[in-house]
């Protein structure tokens, strides 16, 4: 279903990397090619974050009910993101065409894996916005990635939540108290 949501979640997850790249390559801002790359990167990042904020704040129209039978927190997984995705890019130079091509290939491969799997929880922006990420199982043994403002403990199994599906196996919990 909504694969484009996963694409924008993936791109938005690179906001910290983009900020690091700008700071690290600020000396290259007199190079027109670097400025064009920064404009392109920033356009994608800003658009992705705007769509992410829209989805998180306005997407719940007709929530459905789901009974949770199993809960596994994925909040700690974001540290894996930082180590495996951001750290290797620190040596990247925007003025070096080989670095740019290398990172584009790596970015494509990581994106392909991210979008075609349940790695939605590998997004530090969701953590910064105080969303919690869970892997849950429903009463029919279906698994989902749940994005929620609430803290859901293992003691909440066999309880019900209201949600909206935002992508394949990715659901957003309705927080009706905030609306």
59 near 131, Cβ under 8 Å?
no
pLDDT of residue 83: 65
> Does the pLDDT at position 160 exceed 80?
yes
pLDDT of residue 59: 59
CA-based Rg of the chain, rounded to a whole angstrom? 18
In angstroms, rounded to a whole number, what is the distance separating the alpha carbons of residues 156 and 174?
A: 16
Residue 109: count of CB within 10 angstroms of its CB:
10
**101-106: long-range contacts at Cβ-Cβ below 8 A with a sequence spacing of 24 or more?**
none
Average pLDDT, the chain: 77
> Does the pLDDT at position 159 exceed 50?
yes
pLDDT of residue 137: 92
In angstroms, rounded to a whole number, what is the distance separating the alpha carbons of residues 174 and 161?
A: 8
50 three-state secondary structure? helix
User: CA–CA distance from 114 to each of 10, 41, 95, 122, 131 (Å)?
Assistant: 7, 19, 27, 8, 19
> Does the pLDDT at position 70 exceed 60?
yes
Lowest mean pLDDT among 18-22, 100-104, 139-143: 18-22
The DSSP annotation for 66-130 comes to: EEEEEEEE-GGGHHHHIIIIIGGGGG--TT-HHHHHHHHHHHHHHHHHHHTTTGGG--HHHHHTT
Please state, for a pLDDT cut of 90, what percent of the chain lies above it. Answer: 7
> Does the pLDDT at position 133 exceed 80?
yes
The DSSP annotation for 19-44 comes to: HHHHHHTGGGTTSHHHHHHHHHHHHH
pLDDT bin (cut points 50, 70, 90) of residue 1 is very low
Q: Where are the domains of the chain?
A: 3-173
pLDDT bin (cut points 50, 70, 90) of residue 154 is confident
Greater confidence (2 vs 48) lies with 48
Lowest mean pLDDT among 7-16, 25-34, 72-81, 82-91: 82-91
Q: Which of 61-75, 76-90, 110-124 has the highest mean pLDDT?
A: 61-75
H/E run at residue 161: strand 159-167
């Amino acid at each position: 279903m909504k694969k484009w949501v996963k694409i924008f979640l993936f791109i938005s997850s690179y906001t910290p990397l983009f900020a690091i790249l700008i700071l690290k390559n600020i000396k290259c801002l007199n190079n027109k090619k670097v400025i064009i790359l920064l404009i392109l990167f920033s356009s994608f990042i800003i658009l992705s974050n705007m769509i992410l904020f829209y989805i998180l704040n306005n997407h719940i129209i007709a929530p459905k009910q789901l009974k949770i039978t199993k809960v596994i927190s994925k909040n700690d997984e974001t540290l894996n993101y930082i180590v495996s995705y951001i750290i290797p890019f620190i040596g990247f130079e925007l003025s070096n065409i080989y670095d740019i091509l290398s990172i584009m290939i790596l970015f494509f491969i990581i994106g392909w894996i991210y979008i075609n799997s349940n790695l939605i929880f590998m997004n530090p922006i969701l953590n910064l916005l105080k969303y919690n990420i869970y892997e849950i199982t429903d009463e029919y043994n279906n698994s989902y990635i749940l994005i929620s403002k609430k803290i859901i403990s293992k003691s909440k199994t066999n309880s019900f939540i209201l949600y909206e599906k935002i992508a394949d196996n990715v659901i957003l919990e309705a927080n009706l108290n905030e609306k």
